[in-house]
A and B are shown apart, each in its own frame.
Chain A
Amino acid sequence: MQSILSLSQVSKTYDSGHKALDHVDLEIGRGEIFALLGPNGAGKTTLISIICGIVTPSTGTILVDGHDAIRQPREARSRIGLVPQELSVDMFETVMATVRFSRGLFGRAPNQAVLDQVLKDLSLWDKRNAKIMELSGGMKRRVLIAKALAHEPDILFLDEPTAGVDVSLRRDMWKLIGKLRERGVTIILTTHYIEEAEEMADRVGVINKGQLLLVEEKNALMQKLGKREMDLSLVEPLGAVPPELAEWQLTLVDEGHRLRYTFDAQAERTGIPSLLRKLSDLGITFKDLDTSKSSLEDIFVDLVERRESSNEGAAA
């Protein structure tokens, strides 16, 4: 993987004493979509702000396409576009004027064709002469994305891109991200909507309390940590799990109508064939069988909780 962004030992302690980031190392490959997951206050926005030059890191180095973000800010920053979480826009400007401003601010020569295309891609073309204050919240979000793309960045940061956004805009956003990836733009997004990461990301990083807990290929992560469940819909409801089935640690759900078996998808022996055999020996019949994977969300909650309880264990 050729990396376009490289963080090493990045820490940030605010003046208040709050430690927002704790020795973060991260490599982002060119052209990939990376999702940074974490609860509120985990350090996601701080991490992005440091890379973009809005917050000064306490320690550590950041290389953007080989340029040190602190020592060569001009080279580093001209490659980056940032869509912030807050809807911070100039209310009195028109859409076209604000997008043109952004392109100039980032040092690019005027190019009306690029700006036109950006506005069209974001369904803002009809609103190009409207004042930003007249736009809805979702439209303002699009304007922020257009501003970030106006200087044709190589890396795009999206901080909580779909927070408080309706379904159609979220779909549009995903489509746009797909288009940008085809053009080779590297995308880093933070979210606490797991489905967003699941839908789009190539790799996922989980951050909590300023520490990057893990970075993994999304599919590998889901496989590695994923638990699977098998539900059997019974013909006759059961009052209790028969003692003969104790070794599978089954649970009864839906008032005894369904028997649930949770297993590790990666294990060599899942125990399913023997379970089914045992059930037929016992004369328990079922009309339907359903298996499901745990979602990234389950994995995430599980990971964060496990880390917290192990920390408490270490402290005690």
Chain B
Amino acid sequence: MTGLNRHGIWAIYKFEMARTMRTFWQSIATPVITTSLYFIVFGGAIGSRIDTIGDVNYGSFLVPGLIMLSLLTQSIANASIGIYFPKFTGTVFELLSAPISALEMVIGFVGAAATKSVVIGLIILVTSALFVPLRIDHPLAMIAFLLLTSITFSMFGFIIGIWAKGFEQLNIVPALLVTPLTFLGGAFYSVDMLPQPWRTVSLFNPVVYLVSGFRWSFFGQGDVSIGLSLGVTAAFLVLCLGLIVAIFRTGYRLKN
């Protein structure tokens, strides 16, 4: 056998999707309910006093940020448990002994996790259309950001899953790092609304670039330029990929 182990990639992808389908309703229901709550609290209760940001109504302004929030948390959660669970149960022996390269394994695991995130992102988009008027100025860019973010953060989750030695470690990075970065990443406000020096500090938060770029694809306006947004997202993707290659090369926390 030479070339790509496509049967292996497909086997992992199907296995992971089957895992998602087993918990289909809770996988879908949770983000839909959470998003609806955000719309009621931030969009309805608070948003009614904010009016518009730029020329966008606050409720609509929230949509890209909320989708981004779900994409990040779902991608990380899904991919990290996907690789952590085989380590926990011991079935990882089969993955390690299989004729499958690091890249192929990542395509399988990350592909499945990203697929789920994209589906959830689209479901939230549809749900939010029930609450607020929506327009998407740049649908292609919107899809590109959706894919890029899901893939990148699924890879990040994959790394966390390999690094984690227990269930509590699995949650520590999302809780201590990702959630704060997301809340401070302009999901609920425009960075311009922050006083200095926080506006400058925000520019070191990678999530700002994700949210800004994604929001641009909806309304044609963002906190930073679209090129910079894409650049930062792509750079994070390359960084995650590099880390994963290093992990498999050294066998870090996978092999003795």
Contacts and interface: CB of A to CB of B under 8 A. Distances in A.
B19 A107 contact: no
A105 B94 contact: yes
A88 B89 CA distance: 6
A55 B255 contact: yes
Interface residues of A, number: 37
Interface residues of B, number: 28
Interface in A87-122: 88-93, 97, 100-110
Nearest to A81: B97
Tell me if A's interface is mostly helix, strand, loop or mixed.
Answer: loop
Nearest to A89: B91
B1 A74 contact: yes
Contacts of A53: 96-97
A98 to B, nearest CB: 9
B7 A56 contact: no
B202 interface: no
A186 to B, nearest CB: 16
A112 B15 CA distance: 17
B44 to A, nearest CB: 40
Contacts of A106: 7-8, 98-99
B21 to A, nearest CB: 11
Interface of A: 14-15, 49, 52-56, 73-78, 80, 82, 84, 86, 88-93, 97, 100-110, 147
7 contacts: A52-B96, A54-B93, A82-B97, A88-B89, A105-B7, A105-B11, A107-B5
Interface of B: 1-2, 5, 7-8, 10-12, 14-15, 18-19, 22, 89-91, 93-101, 251, 255-256
Given A73-B99, A105-B12, 14 more contacts: A52-B97, A56-B251, A74-B101, A77-B98, A78-B99, A88-B91, A90-B15, A91-B89, A93-B15, A97-B18, A101-B11, A104-B10, A106-B98, A106-B99
